[in-house]
Amino acid sequence: MDKIFAVLNQMESDGVIGRYAIGGAVGSIFWLEPITTKDLDVFVMLPTAPGGSLLTLGPIYEYLLARGYSPQGQFIIIEGWAVEFVPPGTPLVEEALAQAVARDVNGVSTRVFTAEHLAAICLQVGRPKDHDRVIRFVEAGALDAEFFETILRRHDLWQKWQKFQQTYLEP
């Protein structure tokens, strides 16, 4: 997977994408135990065309297709992995991208969402598998309670967190 990170770094250097960070299940693996997934979510700031305000994934596809990678649905297959490029859709994800931290994988640097942002996003999305992941973050002791609380309050998730605790974390 470090080969994919190298491709992403090159894309960022070439200006095809702006700041990027790994999120989703693979992002969680940076903080938790390995969990299975079939795709890699890459959150990206998309550079806008001069004079335009329309965001498009077109340049990403053109760049990667020219290098022999193939599209498959909403994914692009890079080094055998289905990679999805996702522009931030909520203020929480925007913040997660802005505050993502650098990590080294086998000598290749990459950026990943903080554990607190990943857990907050899971709480916000709220599917059963997201709830399961929040529990794993808590059980692993991966969250800085103060930082997590700040994020939850800023993004209006505090009540949801209280309810979540009552449902899943309190005996």
> What are the residues binding another protein (CB under 8 A)?
1-2, 26, 29-38, 103-106, 136, 139-142
Torsion, CA 8, CA 130, CA 57, CA 45, rounded to 10: -60
Q: How far is the CB of 52 from another protein (least distance, A)?
A: 37
Task: Give me the least distance between CB of 132 and another protein, in Å please.
Answer: 12
For another protein, give the closer residue by CB, 1 or 57: 1
CB of 78 to another protein, least distance (A): 14
- The two tokens of residue 61 are 């596809």
Closer CB to another protein, residue 104 or residue 156? 104
- CB nearer to another protein: give 14 or 104: 104
Q: Which is nearer to another protein, 46 or 142 (CB)?
A: 142
| 52 CB-contact burial (10 Å; exposed 0-12 / middle 13-18 / buried 19+) | exposed
Q: Rounded to whole angstroms, what are the CA distances from 42 to 32, 37, 83?
A: 18, 14, 7
CB 12 within 8 A of CB 18: yes
